[in-house]
Amino acid sequence: MSQVPASMYRISLNDPPDSSNLYLHRFASVRTLTESLVAPLGAEDQCVQSMPDASPAKWHLAHTTWFFETVVLMVHARGYEPYDPRYHYLFNSYYEALGPRHPRPQRGLLTRPTVQEVLAYRRHVDEAMERLFEQSGQAERLNFEALAELGLHHEQQHQELILTDIKHAFSCNPLLPTYVPAGPLAVKNAPPLGWADYAGGIVPTGHTGDGFAFDNEGPRHLVVLTPYRLASRLTTCGEYCDFIDDGGYRRPEFWLSDGWAMVQAQGWTAPLYWANDDGHWQIFTLNGTQPLKRDEPVVHVSFYEAAAYAAWAGKRLPTEFEWEAAAIDVPVAGNVLDPARPHPKPASADGKITQFYGDTWEWTRSSYDPYPGYKPLAGAVAEYNGKFMCGQMVLRGGSCVTPPDHIRPTYRNFFPPSARWQFSGIRLAEDA
């Protein structure tokens, strides 16, 4: 931590250095959005932790702040004193190199610091970041700009988690609270499922060029793809209902061995947040409980369920390389984070392959392995991605709770194959 991690620069080396103003403008924007996401929540809502994988909203508010304090201010802001030295223990997530930390499953026990105290902590660090940028010359800024940039993207990841985690917490409350009331909504019909053909070949994969990317998106390298097809849109709730009605959760022939064991152990009979009310499916959403709409994309399925659905459909899931090769030229736009309606929407019927970005993360048939030549960043942020490269599956494309400027074709999200509380869905593939 005492040295500038030079290797960070590859993540932004081609960028013209942000002027202070540009950075601080984006900094303010990201930090403000985070706080707006917790505005509908009371103090108790912000403290609750409904399972070890999730974190309290308040903890997200503090941890993202701790990241700037620890990675940028403590190292690069001359004379900076930690706001409260005990926060270093409380709000470290998983960085072994940064010392011992509060056990993850006990984050919900932190009734103190209160929400108000955490917001004061945020103010303190905001001001210190502003001072640091304003008081540093361009040469000095080179020492911490990449880390400060990483801090913004890090906070955006936690913006998404704030919503996935409170959704899970609310779903555990029999009162089924609403995050924001549903506005009037006309749900379109999804178009029929079509297929897009891709020729494959020897194609490049991984990040290149300007702009930020995480270390796990590179190095850019070649992969061999045989001809393949991708479904023109995400799998819908209606299609998934057909799988359920055909005994999908009772027939082992569709399932991976670990997946079938999970179905048995957990008693899964439908995606997370589905409840069968006398033969009619009700879906719990951040806008409250709603009747299932057959045209909406199915979401909150595990990799196991996605793979079983594909097997039932006689198809398969795409590899992350197939997905990227197809998505690389598609404009990065879609149903991404809108705090007023954080839910997937039916695909557009515009005749094109669609929904690459937003709506739901798409499980791929690719284990989360390092790319050839991958090396973790140096310094404390070495643990950011690399140490998780085992036992997880890659998801691509972002979801309806991913901040708009936080997604790109090379983005590799990853979760264990059993995870369901993320906005994860299904796009089918097949050999051409």
Q: Pick the binder of a copy of itself from 4, 33, 74, 90 (CB under 8 A).
A: 90
Binding of residue 50 to a copy of itself (CB under 8 A): yes
Binding of residue 37 to a copy of itself (CB under 8 A): no
Binding of residue 39 to a copy of itself (CB under 8 A): no
User: What is the C-alpha R_g of the chain?
Assistant: 22
Q: Which part of the chain contacts a copy of itself (CB under 8 A), choosing from 25-33, 91-99, 124-132, 286-294? A: 91-99
Binding of residue 46 to a copy of itself (CB under 8 A): yes
Binding of residue 86 to a copy of itself (CB under 8 A): yes
Binding of residue 391 to a copy of itself (CB under 8 A): yes
Q: Which part of the chain contacts a copy of itself (CB under 8 A), choosing from 13-21, 39-47, 179-187, 328-336? A: 39-47
Q: Pick the binder of a copy of itself from 139, 186, 202, 265 (CB under 8 A).
A: 202
Q: Which part of the chain contacts a copy of itself (CB under 8 A), choosing from 14-22, 95-103, 151-159, 338-346? A: 95-103
Binding of residue 47 to a copy of itself (CB under 8 A): yes
Binding of residue 82 to a copy of itself (CB under 8 A): no
Q: Pick the binder of a copy of itself from 89, 266, 349, 352 (CB under 8 A).
A: 89
Q: Pick the binder of a copy of itself from 39, 139, 265, 390 (CB under 8 A).
A: 390
| Calpha distance 423→396 (Å, rounded) | 11
Q: Pick the binder of a copy of itself from 138, 185, 369, 378 (CB under 8 A).
A: 369
Q: Report the site for a copy of itself in 347-366 (rule: CB under 8 A).
A: 365-366
Binding mask 113-132 for a copy of itself (x = CB under 8 A): xxx-----------------
Q: Pick the binder of a copy of itself from 5, 151, 248, 259 (CB under 8 A).
A: 259
φ and ψ at residue 274, rounded to 5 degrees: -95, 140
Binding mask 161-200 for a copy of itself (x = CB under 8 A): --------xx-xxxx-x-----------------------
Q: Which part of the chain contacts a copy of itself (CB under 8 A), choosing from 189-197, 234-242, 258-266, 400-408? A: 258-266
SS (H, E, C) the chain: CCCCCHHHHHHCCCCCCCCHHHHHHHHHHHHHHHHHHHCCCCHHHHHCCCCCCCCCHHHHHHHHHHHHHHHHHHHHCCCCCCCCCCHHHHCCCCCHHHCCCCCHHHHHHCCCCCHHHHHHHHHHHHHHHHHHHHHCCHHHHCCCHHHHHHHHHHHHHHHHHHHHHHHHHHHCCCCCCCCCCCCCCCCCCCCCCCEEEECCEEEEECCCCCCCCCHHHCCCEEEEECCEEEECCCCEHHHHHHHHHCCHHHCHHHCCHHHHHHHHHHCCCCCCCEEEECCEEEEEECCEEEECCCCCECCCCCHHHHHHHHHHCCCECCCHHHHHHHHCCCCCCEECCCCCCCCCCCCCCCCCCCCCEECCEEEEEEECCCCCCCCCCCCHHHHCCHHHCCCCEEEECCCCCCCHHHCCCCCCEEECCCCCCCCEECCCEEEC
Locate 422 and state its tokens.
């993320």
Rank residues 228 and 357 by Cβ distance to a copy of itself and give the closer one. Answer: 228
CA 97 to chain centre: 24
Q: Pick the binder of a copy of itself from 28, 247, 372, 378 (CB under 8 A).
A: 372
Q: Report whether 302 contacts 418 (CB < 8 A).
A: yes
Instruction: Choose among 127, 143, 27: nearest CA to 76.
Output: 143
Binding of residue 42 to a copy of itself (CB under 8 A): yes
Binding mask 284-313 for a copy of itself (x = CB under 8 A): -------------------xx--x------
Q: Report whether 394 contacts 329 (CB < 8 A).
A: no
Greatest CA separation found in the chain? 66
> What's the min distance (Å) between Cβ of 266 and a copy of itself?
16
Binding of residue 320 to a copy of itself (CB under 8 A): no
Rank residues 60 and 141 by Cβ distance to a copy of itself and give the closer one. Answer: 60
Enumerate binding residues for a copy of itself (CB under 8 A).
42-48, 50, 58, 86, 89-90, 94, 96-97, 102, 106, 108-115, 169-170, 172-175, 177, 202, 221-226, 252-253, 255-260, 303-304, 307, 319, 365-370, 372-373, 382-383, 387-391, 393, 417, 431
